[in-house]
Amino acid sequence: MTGDITLLGYGVSAIGPAIAIGLIFAAYINGVARQPEAQGKLQPIAILGFALAEALAIFGLVLFFIAFFVG
């Protein structure tokens, strides 16, 4: 088997943000299901949380690029 360990590293690093994003949207769906009129207020907050959690995955991708191409 050939390949690069950095690829595996990125795959592992994506687990955390994936769970985080899942939790954020689960909470968002719960909130909207309970109070549909609060959707307008919750949506930007959910998207912001999603963006912040996603940033970690993006960091992982960037580090992967650096390690894979440069290192």
Partner 1 sequence: MEHTTIASGVLKAAAESEPMGAGVDAVPIYPYIPELIFGTIVFALFWWFVAKKIVPSLEKAYAERTAAIEGGMQAAEQAQAEAAEAKKQYEDQLGEARAEAARIREHAKEQGAQIVAEMREQAQAEANRITETAHKQIEAERQQAMVQLRGEVGTISTALASKIVGESLEDEARQRGIVDRFLAELESGEVRPEKLGAGSEQGS
Partner 2 sequence: MSATMAAVGLVLPMAEGEHFPPTPGSFWQPLFAIPGTDYAFTRPMLLIAISAVVLAVWLWLTTRHAAVVPGRGQWYTEQVYNFARNGIARDMIGSKDFMRFVPFLFALFVFILLNNLFGVIPGFQNPTMARIGFPIGLTLIVYVMYHWVGLRKAGSVGAYLGGLLPSGLPGWIKPMIMFLELITFFITRPLTLALRLFGNMFAGHMLLVVFIVGGWYLFRTWDPALMAVAIPAWVLGAALTAFEALVQFLQAYVFALLAASYLGGALADEH
Closest separation in Å from C-beta 48 to partner 2: 6
User: Rule CB under 8 A: is residue 65 a binding residue for partner 1?
Assistant: yes
Q: How far is the CB of 69 from partner 2 (least distance, A)?
A: 8
Binds 3: which of partner 2, partner 1, none (CB < 5-8 Å by kind) = none
Residue with tokens 């088997």: 1
Count CB neighbours of 17 within 10 A.
19
- Applying CB under 8 A, the residues found at the interface with partner 1 are 4, 62-63, 65-67, 69-71
